[in-house]
Amino acid sequence: MKDSEWVRPTLSPAFRFEIEIEGINEAEFTSVHGLEAEIELEPYREGGENNFEYKFPKRTKYPNLVLKRGMTGSHHLWNWFRACTQGHITRKDCTIKLINYNGDVFSQWTCYKCYPVKWVGPDLTADRSAVAIETLELVHQGFMSDSKQGKK
């Protein structure tokens, strides 16, 4: 490949994103953590072989999603969490959309069968001026990535 044929990869900022939970578009989140997957490995040592060990895949683990946002007048997520605390577990798909500089969906991830397992209220302190932040933690059964690359 010649230098003139090299195409610069398109990058997207990490600070523009939206979260949609089965039709509830909650775009005011300030951070998302836990969008990751890891394959557990089972080590196996073969007799007489001391230079290495085999590693066989077992299962894929997905940590909980941790969503943070400023407190709003919307009670959709709190009501969902509250229902789960009372044994009414409703699983919902959650889509995280990464937005590029043009305002288009650059990439998105859909986490399947989510439900809230933890809610943390804001830290309230009179000695500083800060936005009240609430945290919602969702368990899920894995996700799929869909790279839009600038498509709406």
98: domain CATH number is: 2.30.110.20
Between the CA of residue 125 and those of 62, 63, 70, 119, 130, what are the distances in Å? 34, 30, 15, 19, 9
User: How many structural domains are present in the chain?
Assistant: 1
In a domain, 93, yes or no: yes
In a domain, 51, yes or no: no
Rounded distance between C-alpha atoms, residue 98 and residue 107, angstroms = 5
In a domain, 42, yes or no: no
Confidence at residue 72, expressed as pLDDT on a 0 to 100 scale: 83
In a domain, 50, yes or no: no
Tens-level pLDDT at each residue, the chain (152 residues): 565 666 666 766 677 888 888 877 765 788 999 999 999 999 998 888 788 899 999 999 999 999 998 888 888 888 999 999 999 999 999 999 988 888 888 889 999 999 999 999 888 888 888 888 899 999 999 999 986 544 44
Confidence at residue 119, expressed as pLDDT on a 0 to 100 scale: 94
In a domain, 116, yes or no: yes
Confidence at residue 13, expressed as pLDDT on a 0 to 100 scale: 65
In a domain, 95, yes or no: yes
In a domain, 136, yes or no: yes
In a domain, 54, yes or no: no
Closest residue by Cα to residue 114 from 32, 41, 13, 40: 32
Closest residue by Cα to residue 97 from 88, 87, 89, 107: 107
Number of residues in the chain: 152
Q: pTM of the prediction?
A: 0.79
What's the token pair of residue 51? 């230079």
Q: What is the amino acid identity at position 11? A: L
Q: Tell me, what DSSP letter sits at residue 85?
A: H
Q: Tell me, what DSSP letter sits at residue 118?
A: E
The residues pairing with 17 across neighbouring beta strands, listed in sequence order, are: 98
Domain range for 8: 3-36+63-147
Confidence at residue 100, expressed as pLDDT on a 0 to 100 scale: 84
